[in-house]
Structures are given as structure tokens and as C-alpha cells.
Amino acid sequence: MSARTFGGLTLEAVHTPDYSIENDGDGNKKRVELPGHVDFFIVVDGARVRIGRKAAAGLFADIDRAKTAAAQQPPAQPASPPAPSA
């Protein structure tokens, strides 16, 4: 079979929460939502291929830190034009 090249690949991320059954103070069971995982896929000619998985809590914390860091940085100054040569 000859080698093939695939173009136009897309990337998808899907959050899948997890659940736990916990007992409250009265002994009643309740369903508690947990962060779960985020799965990363590439789509090749319509077929989703999972390329990775990350714990959602860690990823959400990384995203929050990146947003905070970006908000604290001053906006980039436009480059000044070069000085005219004499």
C-alpha cells in the first residue's frame, strides 16, 4: 500500500464528567458530579481518532492560570518604524 497524506485535519476536545454516589449526613445516597476527563481527538476523513486524555480538573486549572497570566500582562506595544537614514 502506498503512503497517503491527509490534509484538513481538525482537532476536537470533549469533556466527559464523571459521577460518584455519596452518602449525605442523613445516610441518603446522592449523585455528585466530578470533573472527569477531557479527551482530545483528530478527525481524519470523518473518523475521530483519540490522541490523548487529560484529567479535567488539571486542564481547567491550567486554563484558569493561563487566563489570569494573560490578563496581568500589559498589551503588546506596536513596533515603532525604523528611524530614517541620513
pLDDT exceeds cutoff 90 at 3: yes
pLDDT tens digits for range 31-77: 999 999 999 999 999 999 999 999 999 999 999 999 999 999 877 77
pLDDT given at position 86: 62
Spans of all domains in the chain:
10-69
Three-state secondary structure call for residue 59? helix
From residue 82, give the alpha-carbon distance in Å to each of 32, 77, 78, 79. Answer: 60, 15, 12, 9
Number of H helices, E strands in the chain: 1, 3
CA-to-CA dists, residue 31 to 14, 21, 36, 47, angstroms: 22, 5, 14, 34
Q: Quick check: helix, strand or coil at residue 24? A: coil
**Is the pTM for the entire model greater than 0.75?**
no
